[in-house]
Each structure stands twice: as structure tokens, then as C-alpha cells.
Structure 1
Amino acid sequence: MRRLPALGTALLLSLGLFAPAAQAATGTPAAPTEKPTSSATPAAVGKPTAPRTIPVPKSPDTPEDARPLASDPRAKATAPTAGSSVGAAPAAQSLTAACDVSAFTGKSGAALVQQVKSAGLDCVNTLFQLTGNDAKGAFNEAQMVTVANALRDTAATYPGDNSTSVGQLVLFLRAGYYVQWYHKDAVGPYGDSLKAAVRGALDAFYAAPRTRDISDANGATLAEAVTLIDSAQENARYTGVVKRLLNDYTGSWPAQMTTAVANTETVIERGFDLPEFVSALQADPTFATTVQSFVTRNSGLIDGGDVVTKVGIQLGNLVANDALRAQGRPILKDLINRYPLVGRTGPLTMNLLWFTEKKDAGNCSFYGTCDVPAKLVPLVLPVDHTCNANLRIRAQEMTAQQLADTCTSLVNQDAFFHRIVKDGGPVANDNNTALEVVAFDDYYNYSLYAWEMYKIDVDNGGMYEEGDPSKAGNQARFIAHEASWLRPQFQIWNLNHEYTHYLDGRYDMYGDFEAGMTTPTIWWVEGLAEYVSYSYRGEHYDAAVAQAGKGTYALSTLFDTTYDNADSTRIYNWGYLAVRYMLQSHPDDVTALLAKYRAGDWNGARTLLKTTIGTRYDADFATWLKACAADNCGSLPTTEQPKAPLCTAADTRQYDKDCRRDGVAATTGNYSYSYLNLPAGVKQLTVTTSGGTGNADLYYNGGSWATTGSYLAKSTAGGNGETLTITNPPAGYVFFSLYAQQGFGGVTVTTSYN
């Protein structure tokens, strides 16, 4: 997607269009007879306005990550926790004859207690699935009170293991709360009788000395009993139990005991939704400092997905609560500044930072975090690579080959795009001369850091920021991540789709996003991005072809597509089909439409689509869809660019508009020098190299000879596939050269301008 009103002010990154000049080589040639009168200078880079942003789709293949992401807006669970860590998960079990439901629903009193105690934990675990009359028979309040009282009596002599079936009683109560939450009408209400009984049961259990045993045998039952605290919404009553577990914990505890500690996360997190829990923390500030101490004392165990991180993050809820904010501020300040923002402690510090910014906004000075975005850029994105004057990559981790391949992919896409839209240069007042591509290592790192670094929503597959293109120094930026699920293949998710948005915004769509959205343009904006991306990469668009066979939409209906009235299938699959049909079947109409888009004549464009064209093409579009469904959609554009005619000037160094020279060569360390004499008013000059052997790098220097030590722009990818696009070059002589990183020969050099 192309752009949308800002979610926040993005961090300004210095563009760095012009790399530090290297030492100049010797032996520069004499200038042409007519000396250039001026030289190009880098454009000033000013402070941008808040960017217009819009997310791109998240891949369904994006892997889940066990590490926490407060910045990923997921609804906090309100229902009691399902299933058990000591029995098989309910989804994996079926109610079989070996676990007869009637054995629980048809008994009460002592018989019910005996049935629960004698059943296996895996059998009791299946009761989380009960519905209807079975749910009522097993879990009505009277049944729950009976089992809670039995737990009270049995817990008094708890031996530190499950030999007295305390685990089954706890798990039955957990299942009851879970089922009643979802099936209140069937089960009936729970009232004061059950509350009193459960409190008596939990009081007795936690008073038993053997609940302090540091063993897996105790931990298995203790873990379930900790979860029962939250299921019964007794979070406030048992803050002391949570404190005890956190105070006693060490990294040497066995796995089941660690699970018991981990389950306190749910008690704490969901406790903040209960007024009595908040009141308990107000009355006892040591609860918060106990959690803080738990984190600092066990910080050596932090690896991102550990119990310390997950429990520690819950401290953020202190500043999300008006009554506890003053209590929480110094604690969060300490932890955020104590531990690094990246590495193993990153999930903890970044999540706590999220709370300070989202729930205690405007206080970065107190927390000492106002400069965090600037700090994060070099820490998270150490790779800083300039493809050419128009394209820069900031990445978390990319090899030299991956950088070169990405640069080549994007640079070569320019010519492909321009052949499709047949533009005459950038639209008026568009200063987005360069794009910055930000590539995080995977979706998790994108989610963990991009929200803070660029002030964007991250529950998506990436974000394109166009900003205000009329502002000098505005930075267009695509914030992306590697498609980690495709490894070992390297791919930046949505790369070519988003680069098309950059090009489309610069060469086809006048003004900013709000201007372009005054009438429906999404069929074109997203359809073109899909069309160029799939065509350029030579990838068959299976999903779109499958949709063509359904014939869901008329072409005239697709002209009305907006982000608000359409789902992703209509926006992307059907946008692609509409754009492909129009480009192939009615190119003159596309030319007329783009003329209006480029002038900002949105109403004129709308009249063309809905009145001049209207429904005239609907029948033909329907016919074309049927053919397309049979994989006969027509010819796609090729990536091969037609060759320009040979340059005719006698001086082999001189180039002109739309001409080429073949067989260009130079030995290692030397140059092939060239120049053009441009008329006034040139909007865009493009120089490309291709073919041949060796490795030639391309340099441009405006009004003086271009060398590795004196240049305004360069393209230095591996091999000879280089492109430079210079916006608003000066009139008169301008100079470029090919420098031989490795001796080259047989290279074709092409120049064009408009």
C-alpha cells in the first residue's frame, strides 16, 4: 500500500545520498571545447513532515514467535486459561469411554469427589470441552462447591506430590471456571458460595508446608494451583503467594517449578483488570518492587522468551493504571535504562518502553528515553548501503551479495516501470528523489523495533511512508523485513510491490495520499503494484488467476474499490486483474487516466472511469476473465528493454538523448570518461550500463569530470548492471564515467533524458 495519514512523527534519518569521496585516480582527460558553466550540488536535506503511512499485508506464512510483543496489538485474554500443562491439551483429546462424562455429571457429593480423585489427569483435562447439559451436570455451582471443599480438606495434608490427587481437584475447578465462562446459560451463575469455598481451598493449599518443596512433583500441582488463582479471579487475595514464588525463585529450580513461576504472569497481567487487585497493589508497594527484584536478581537468565522477561514485562501495566502510575514510573525507568535495548534483553526493555510511550505518553524526559529512536538506528540497523543516488538500504543483517542483488532488482525495475506507465518524468512538486529501504531480519524484529524507530503500527507485513512529497528533504521510506520462512532463499517481503508504490507516487500520482484518496484510486494503486511486482519477477499470480475464474466483480465495480469497502482479495487480486486488463485491452484509456492523475485532476479521472468508460467494458472484461481463468490472460511485458539507437557524435565520449554506445572498455583502475550537453529544462537524466565482462562502476559529477574522488552520485553494484537517475540536472555539459574495479569490456552504455 502506498500511504496514509501518519500514526506518528517518524525519525529523520540522514539520507547520505553522496558517499564520502574516495581518493581520485590520476590521468583525467581534457574537458570538451566548451567548458561547463556550473556544477551540480547535492540537494539540501531538511526536516520532513510527519509521513503518510499505510501497512502492507502480513504473510500467512509468518512464523509465530514465543517471545513477547506488547507492541503487537493482541487482545488480552479475559477467559480463564484453557487446558493444563500436566494433562494432554483438550484439543488433542476426545471424550472416550475411558473418560466417561456421565461419571462426572451423574454423581454428586462424596461420589463426585471420589470420581474426580480416581480419574487420571488427562481424563479430567478433557472436561474443558463440555457443553450443554453435560457442562451443567458437571460444573453447576453445587458441584464446584463440593469439589472446592474437598480440595480444602485434602490440601491440609498435601504431601508435596500428587499422591493424594490434589492435582485432579485443582484441574476440575479450573475446567469448571473455563466452561462456565463460555457457557453461562448452560452452567448457571457462580456466586458467594463458590467464592467462599474456593478461597477456603486455596487458603488451605498455600498454607500447606509442602507447597514450598522445590521439586517437579510439587511444581506440577503448584503450577495448576497458581493458574486457579486467576480462573477464580482471586488475584488480589493471593498477591502474597505470587511474591513468595518470585522471591524464592532461582534459575536452578526444576522445570515444573519454573512453570509455576511462569504462571504468575497470568495472575499479574489479568489482575490489573480487577479493581481489588489494583487496590491491593496500592496498599502494598512491595509487590511491584518484588517483581522488579525478581527481574534484576535473575537477569542472567534473560534470553527473550524466558520466565523473567515475561513476568517482568507485566510491570508495564503499573504505568497503564492511573492509581499505580507513580509507583511504576521509577521501576520502569530503572529497568529500561539498566538493560540494553538490543540483544537478549531487547524483548524486556522494548516492551517496557512500549508501556511508557503508549500508556504514559509525553514523559520521555523522565524516563530518559527521548533519544531512543536515534539510538536504535545504528544498533538495530548496522548495515548502511548506498545503491545509488536514488536508493539506500538500511538493514539488520544482509550479506554483500544480498545487498547487490537487492540493489540490482530495484534499479532494474525502474526502466520496467517506466515502459509500462510511459511517464514524462516526476509529477510536479514531487521531491521524493530517493527511497530508503529498511530491512529487519524477520517479522519479530520488525515488530519489536519498528514501532519505536519509525512510529508506525507493526501488526502488518511492512509499511510504506511517502510523507509529503512537496516538502524539500522529505524522505520516502519502505520499512520491511526479510521473509524468514523462505530461508535459505533470501527475500525482502513485498519489496518490488512497495518499490512500485514509490515509483507510482512519484511519476503518476500528484500530491500526497490524502489528495489521491479524494476519489477511489485503489484499484490502480494496488493493482499496478501487484502487476509490476509479479510481471517484473516473472512469477505466476496463482491467486489472481483463481479469482478470475469466479467472476466476482464487474470492472466498473472495481473502479470503486477503497481500503474501507474492500477486503484484501478485492484490493490485490482483483486490482491486479483490472489493471492488467486495462493495460492490455485499453492502453489509450490508461494514458488518458494517468494524465489526469499526474495533474491531480481527481474528479476528471473519476468522470473518465465512471462516465466515459462506465460499464462499456464490463462484458468484455467478463469474457477476458474466463480466458484468464484458463491461464490465457494475454502477454505480460518483458524485462528486456528495447535497445536505443547508437550515438552518432564523432567524439566517442559524447552521448545524446536516447542513444547508446557498445563495446565500452577500460583496464583495471582506469576510467571510460563520458559527457552529455543537456538543454535547459531536463527533468530527469538516466544512465545505464549492461552486458560485457568485468566490473564497471558508474559515477556522475554534474559539471565536472566524474571520478571515484569527485562525484555527486554513483552506482557500484557487482558486475556491469548499473543505473543512475539524476533529477533536474543542470543545463550544459554534465559528466559521467565508468571506473574499472576490474577490467571490463563489451559494456553497453545508454543515456536518456526527458
Structure 2
Amino acid sequence: MRPRTVHRRLGRLAALATALCLGGGLLAGPGQAAAVGHGNDGPHPAARPTSRVTPADRPPLTDPVDARHREHTPRSAPVHHSRPSMKGLSPERRAAACDIADFTRNTGSALVAKIKGATTDCVNTLFALTGTDARGAFREAQMTTVAYALRDGAASYPGDGSTGLPQLVLFLRAGYYVQWYHSGDTGPYGSALRTAIRSGLDAFFAAPRSRDVTDANGETLAEAVTLIDSAQENARYLYVVERLLKGYDSSYDASWWMLNAVNNVYTVLFRGHQVPAFVTAVERAPAVLRTLHDFAAAHLDLLGGKQSYLTANAGRELGRFLQHASLRERTRPYAVDLLRRTAMTGRTAPLWVGVAEMADYYDKAGCDQYGVCDLQKRLTDAVLTVRHTCGPSIAIRAQQMTAAELASTCASLGGQDAFFHGVAKDSGPVADDRNTTIEVTVFDSSADYQTYAGAIYGIDTNNGGMYLEGDPAAAGNQPRFIAYEAEWLRPDFAIWNLNHEYTHYLDGRFDMYGDFNAGVSTPTIWWIEGFAEYVSYSYRKETYREAIAEAGKHTYKLSTVFDTAYGDDTTRVYRWGYLAVRYLLENHRADVDAVLAAYRKGDWQAARRHLTETIGTRYDADWDRWLTACAAGGCATGGGTGARPAA
């Protein structure tokens, strides 16, 4: 996946997120980046959760063992890895690929046999179970059986997946995930499962072949490391964290799975801070602090390369221990040393910025000891050195852009205004909106965006850009969108998602009353993201081939698309949002005008009633016919399209 756009955020919501900022999350490993938004396949951005997480907001991770390219599903808490989508399969084909009854109607050895005999694709589907199926598969007795099967299988583990251990581990992870969100369905988990899962993990990590540096072993090893966190056994397995960090060398680089196994230990650390026993364990045996420091210091050569995230994450997770007063004095010298070995800009910046963020957030009173006082201003001044004004309403702040690139960007944005107003048919800004100017911040690459945008603006960077609206009624509020050059398209110059993000600004100013919180008080995501897609692709006269392909699948009724939320998969949010907006604009303009009239007044309930009651299911049959025509060529021109950003 190419880096993608997340929803426009903000107002008081963004201020709160910034206030609760953790100072940085994990960088993604190979294929693990959490990308949210629209666009084509391409480079993955790094995952940088910014919201503070309490134990009540801590779901187990959802991570495939079979998918080499992973797609992020937004959740209520930071999630660095994601439950796989069986991409390209219709819901009907997904169901046919796996008989859920194999896991809900069997118990004991029969259940274990079914799990071992299933594909990982099949076991992956179990993350979505609810209701009686969730109870049938994942009640405590079932999970305990499988945990002991992991123990028994580990005794003769051959160093590969031939005996079904990857499926057992993934089943256990799915169970913890489902139980987290649907404990009423699965029932509670208690000491019986705790004893069983410890015996299973103990046995696996004790197995001699679990130390093999091979792709075959790495598949199970990487998922077993993540299972540590799913079971909240972060304290018990600190020795596994140390073993993998101390064992890493260049031989691991040949194995995608072994690299994941190493990177997954950072998740055990990242989320371990939410487990009191974990902090106590580090207080009693703080060797992991030195291990993290030594790993980062020994692998500075990785920075700027394919495995850069391993070194940067070591620094981040070391710095995260600064949050504990009992560990701060032990952690501080290690953090200071890493900062002295690296620099704010250049090849070592990912490590410097990661450690600096942690020090700035968790030990701000001691900022002078680290040399990170006024961190945001120092980073902004050092990195975003280009300033340019397009006109009275648009200013650009960039890391590196030529005069020609600035001119082309201004022309693209300036020309979009008239196009937008022609489609929206607005009569001017909504009431109480003072967002008369927009600041466009452009980093030089996706890597620079990942390194700096979170530290400067306190945002997630697991995306392809972000629009920050603020409180449009507040005097002095400065809306901005933060983007980056699509370096994979060089030598052509393009700012990724430029026109999509600019549409969010225009839509917020001319169509949506109030701030972002108000605008999403009812389901409006179908419009917010669908309209941004529609305007972006229509203005650029591109064919949105990915959306057209989705139209041919007839996955959603129009009435269903109206209920879309950001928690839904990105295909539904962006491509189906685009299709719904295009269908209504081309076939039911009066309905669009009625909905927008309510949006512009902030009457969200009236707009919702129009969608769910006035329209309801009335257009579903016509929509279905329209989708057929769209897929057959009816959407190839006109309305909108393609996946190349504007130059």
C-alpha cells in the first residue's frame, strides 16, 4: 500500500490527542506499517500512535502470520500490527474458504486437529467472530486446550510450521482479541488459561529450534512474541526480549519473519508499561535498559537503511522508561548517550528524534540534560526551512522544494477552488468559520514525514498525510494539512494526496459547521472521505480504477455505505465513499443539496434522518444497477478517479 490519507481530524479532539501524546510509537517493520486512507499500493509509512493508553484501552494485537503486506484496521488503542484482510475475496468467498463450525463445534483433541489442519488464512478469519460463534471457539476451556496443545507441540518443535504451531499461536491470539472486545460473548478468562498459556509459551521459547535464524522458524517465533503481549505476559518474558535483541546480527536480514520477530519485542515493551508487573520486573532487573541502549548504539549503521526501524525503535522504547520515576535515573544516562551519538537531521535523525520526543514528554523538567528544550521549535526551524505564500489564503512551509515545485503546487491548489465550489454549490463559508488561510506543510519524503511530523505536530504518521482543522470559530486558529513528497514517483514531483487533503479544508470551511468532533457526531464519513476522493480525482481528470473495480463486486448497499465509520476497512471508507458520493451527485443532486444544507447548519440529526429515512433503502436497487454500469465503463470518465497525486 502507498502511504494513505487519514481522516481530517481535529478541533478539540486533536488538542486532546496532543495533550495525551506518548511522544512517539513504534516504527513499522517490514510489511507491518499501519496505513490508513486512500491510494494505491506502495511504500508503507511508520506507525506512530499518539494517544495515551490505559489498561482499559489495551486490546490484544491482531497480526497475520501469512500476509506479507499488512493493512491497518483502526482501533481504539494503538495497534502496530493488524488483523489481515483477505484482500480481493468477496465476503461469500471468505466464508467458503473456512468452515467456522470446525472451531465452534469441536473440543479437546478434535479442536486441536482442526486448527492444525486449517490454513492460516482460515484461522485469520476467526478474529471477526462474535456471538455464539465467539463463545463456541474462544471460551476459556477451548483456549486452555489450545494453550496446552502449544506446550505439547513445542516439546518436539521442528523449527518450522509443519506441525501446526503457527495456527495454534494465531488461534490463541485471535481468542484474546475477540475476548477483549466481546467478553460477554466468550465469557471471562481466568487463572486456568493463565497457567496454560504460560506453560505453552514457556515450552516454545525453551525449544532449541525456536532459536533458529530461519524464515521457517521466524514465522512461528514472530507470532509467539506478539502472543506474549496478547496474553499480557509482558513481564514474564522479558528474557525473550533480551535474547532477540542480543542475538540479532546481519544473518537475520535474510529472513522477513526473523526481522519481524526482533521488531515485535518492541511491542512487548511498548505495551508492557500498562502492566504493573512489567514495571516491577524492570525495576528489579533493569538489564533490559542497557540492552536497548547497546542495541541502538551497536546498530547505528542500520539508520537510513531498510532495517532503520530496528535501531530507532530501540531508542524509543528505551526513552519510554523515562515515564517511571523509579527508573528515570537509570534510563537518563543511556538516553543522553544516544542523543550525543546522533543528530537532529541527517541519517541518524530517526533515532535522535525518537529519543528526544520521549525525553521531552516524560522528563521535560530535565530537558537541558538531553539538549532537547524547545524541541518542537528547534525541529521546525531546522527541518521546515522553506516558506512560500501562494496568495492570500494559502501558505506553504516545506523541507525542500524548488521554485518550480512551489509554483506548480500553488497552481494546483488555486485551480481547485473554483472546481470545488462548482461541485459543492455553496454560498460561502459556514457560520462561525474563521479558517480564512491554510498552511500546507510538506516534508521531503515519507521517511522524513515519519521522522519529524509526529514530533513537531503531535500527530499519527501511520498515514499519507493529515488535515488539522482546529476550532474554526477560534480567533487565531491555524488550520493546516501535513503532507510529503511522493519520493517513489521521482524524478516526477508530486505531493502525495495534495488535492484530497485540500478538499478536506474546503469541505470543512464551506460544507461542515463547527469542528471535526461536531462533524462526526453522526455517521458522516461516507461524505467526508468520499467527497474528498471525488473532488481530488475529478479535478485531476483521473480514472479511479480501484473504485471502479470495487463497483463490480457489489459489496455494499448504498444504505449501508451511509453507516461507514473510520473503524471500517479503508476500501469501504475511501472507494465506496467515492462511489456513493458520485452516484448521488450524478443521479440525486437534490438529496445531496438537502444533506449539505443540514451539514452547513450543523443540524447533523436532520441530515441523518434524510439519509436513513427519506432515502433509506429507496435507491438500493437503482444503486445496484448503477454499480454494474460503473464497472462496465460508465465511471471511466467524468466524475473522478485515478491514484496519481497532482504534480
TM-score range, shorter chain: 0.5 to 0.7
Distance 1:584 1:634, change over 3 A: farther
Matched, 1:506 2:512: no
How far residue 282 of structure 1 moved from its aligned partner, in angstroms, is 4.9
Deviation at 1:384? 1.7
1:585 is matched with which residue?
587
Show the counterpart of 1:350.
353
Q: Which amino acid is 2:634 matched to?
A: N
Q: What is the match of residue 6 of structure 1?
A: 13
Counterparts of 1:509-658 in structure 2 under 5 Å?
509-558=512-561, 560-564=562-566, 566-633=568-635, 636=638
Query: How far apart, CA to CA, are the structure 1 residues paired with 2:568 and 2:278?
Result: 43
Aligned ranges 1:356-375 → 2 under 5 Å: 356=359, 360=362, 365=367, 369-375=372-378
Amino acid paired to 1:438: T
What is the CA-CA distance between 1:143 and the residue it aligns to?
11
Provide the residue aligned with 1:426 in structure 2: 429
Query: d(CA) in 2 for partners of 1:574 and 1:240?
Result: 46
Q: How does 1:70-81 map to 2 (within 5 A)?
A: none
Deviations 1:41-64 (A, max 9, x none): xxxxxxxxxxxxxx9616452325
CA deviations on 1:302-342 (whole Å, 9 max, x unpaired) are: 65656866655553354366753431134324533663222
**Are 2:486 and 2:493, in contact at CA under 8 Å, matched by a contact in 1?**
yes
Alignment partners' CA distance in 2, 1:140 and 1:580: 51
CA positional deviation for 1:173: 7.8
1:410 matches 2:390: no
The reply on whether 1:319 has 2:322 as its aligned counterpart is yes
Displacement of 1:480 in angstroms is 1.4
Read off the aligned partner of 1:63 and give its amino acid letter.
Answer: P
Within 5 Å, which residues of 2 pair with 1:453-532? 453-532=456-535
- Paired residues of 1:144 and 1:176 also in contact (CA < 8 A): no
Q: CA 1:589–1:174 in structure 2 vs 1: closer, same or farther (change >3 Å)?
A: closer
Q: What is the distance in 2 between the residues matched to 1:270 and 1:593? A: 43
Structure 1: 5+ residue stretches without partners: 13-54, 83-129, 148-171, 206-218, 247-253, 640-754
498-507 vs 265-274, which moves further: 265-274
1:730 maps to none
Q: Secondary structure at the match of 1:393?
A: strand
What's 1:743 paired with?
none
Q: Which amino acid aligns with 2:430?
A: V
Q: Higher mean Cα deviation, 415-424 or 405-414?
A: 415-424
Indicate conservation of the 8 Å contact 1:56/1:463, yes or no: no
Counterpart among 444, 450, 454 of residue 453 in structure 2: 450
**Cα offset for 1:481?**
2.0
Structure 2 residue 63 is matched with structure 1 residue 61: no
Please tell me whether residue 437 in structure 1 is matched to residue 449 in structure 2. Answer: no
Q: Do the aligned partners of residues 450 and 634 (structure 1) sit closer, same or farther apart at CA in structure 2, a change above 3 Å counting?
A: closer
CA distance 1:179–1:361, shift in 2 (3 Å): farther
Mark the CA change 1:585 to 1:370 in structure 2 (over 3 Å): closer, same or farther: same
In 1, Cα distance between equivalents of 2:261 and 2:628: 58
CA distance in 1, matches of 2:243, 2:544: 59
3-state SS, counterpart of residue 489 of structure 1: coil
Q: Which moved more, 1:437-446 or 1:333-342?
A: 333-342
**How many Å separate the matches in 2 of 1:355 and 1:510?**
36
Corresponding residue of 1:647? none
| Amino acid in structure 2 at the alignment position of 1:389 | P
C-alpha distance after superposition, 1:413-465 (max 9, x if no partner): 10111111222221111111111111222222212221111111121221111
Closer/same/farther in 2, CA of residues 296 and 529 from structure 1, 3 Å limit: closer
CA deviations over 1:690-747 (Å, ceiling 9, x no partner):
xxxxxxxxxxxxxxxxxxxxxxxxxxxxxxxxxxxxxxxxxxxxxxxxxxxxxxxxxx
Corresponding residue for residue 332 of structure 2: 329
The alignment of Structure 1 onto Structure 2 pairs a total of residues equal to: 486
Taking a change above 3 Å as real, the CA distance of residues 241 and 557 of structure 1, as seen in their structure-2 partners, is closer
CA contact 1:9–1:455 (8 Å) conserved in 2: no
1:503 aligned partner, one-letter code = L
Distance 1:588 1:445, change over 3 A: same
Counterparts of 1:143 and 1:531, CA distance in 2: 53
Distance 1:448 1:373 in 2: 13
1:51 matched to which residue of 2? none
* Residue 627 of structure 1: how far off its partner (Å): 2.4
Q: Measure the CA separation in 1 of the matches of 2:621 and 2:242.
A: 69
Q: Secondary structure at the match of 2:467?
A: strand
Distance verdict in 2 for CA 1:332–1:460, change over 3 Å: same
User: Conserved in 1, the CA contact under 8 Å of 2:405 and 2:493?
Assistant: yes
Look up the match of 2:344: 341
Q: Tell me which protein shows more helix as a share of its residues.
A: 2
Change in 2 beyond 3 A, CA 1:634/1:596? farther
CA contact (8 A) 1:316 1:328 kept: yes
Aligned equivalents of 1:554, 1:302: Cα separation in 2: 47
The SS at the match of 2:439 is strand
Q: Following TM superposition, by how much is the alpha carbon of 1:477 offset from its aligned partner in structure 2, in angstroms?
A: 1.0
How far off its partner does 1:595 sit? 2.6
Alpha-carbon contact 2:48-2:461 (below 8 Å) kept: no
CA distance in 1, matches of 2:606, 2:197: 64
| 1:7–1:457 contact (8 Å) kept in structure 2 | no
Check 1:414–1:313 CA distance in 2 against 1; reply closer, same or farther (3 A cut). Answer: closer
Quote the Cα distance in structure 1 between the aligned partners of 2:636 and 2:355. 54
Structure 2 counterpart SS, 1:424: coil
CA radius of gyration, larger in:
1
In 2: Cα distance, 1:583 partner to 1:142 partner: 60
User: Retained in 2: the 8 A contact 1:547–1:574?
Assistant: yes
Instruction: Return 5+ residue gaps in structure 2 as ranges.
Output: 1-6, 20-34, 52-57, 67-114, 118-145, 172-194, 229-235, 642-647
Relative to structure 1, the CA distance from residue 428 to residue 569 in structure 2 (aligned partners, 3 Å threshold; closer, same or farther) is same
| 1:126-165 map, 5 Å | none
- 1:448 partner amino acid: T
Relative to the length of structure 1, the TM-score reads 0.52
| CA shift for structure 1 position 388 | 1.1
Secondary structure of 2:348's partner? helix
The verdict on how the C-alpha distance between 1:395 and 1:627 changes in structure 2, with shifts beyond 3 A counting, is same
Q: Check the 8 A contact 1:316/1:332 in 2, yes or no.
A: yes
Q: CA RMSD in A?
A: 5.4
How far, CA to CA, are the matches of 2:240 and 2:547 in structure 1?
57
Residues in 2 aligned to 1:381 and 1:451: alpha-carbon distance in whole angstroms: 14
- Cα-to-partner distance string for 1:553-590 (whole Å, 9 max, x where unaligned): 443443x3242574333332232222223222333343
Does the 8 A contact of 2:393 with 2:436 survive in 1? Answer: yes
The equivalences for 1:197-212 within 5 A come to none
Deviation at 1:538, TM superposition (A): 0.5
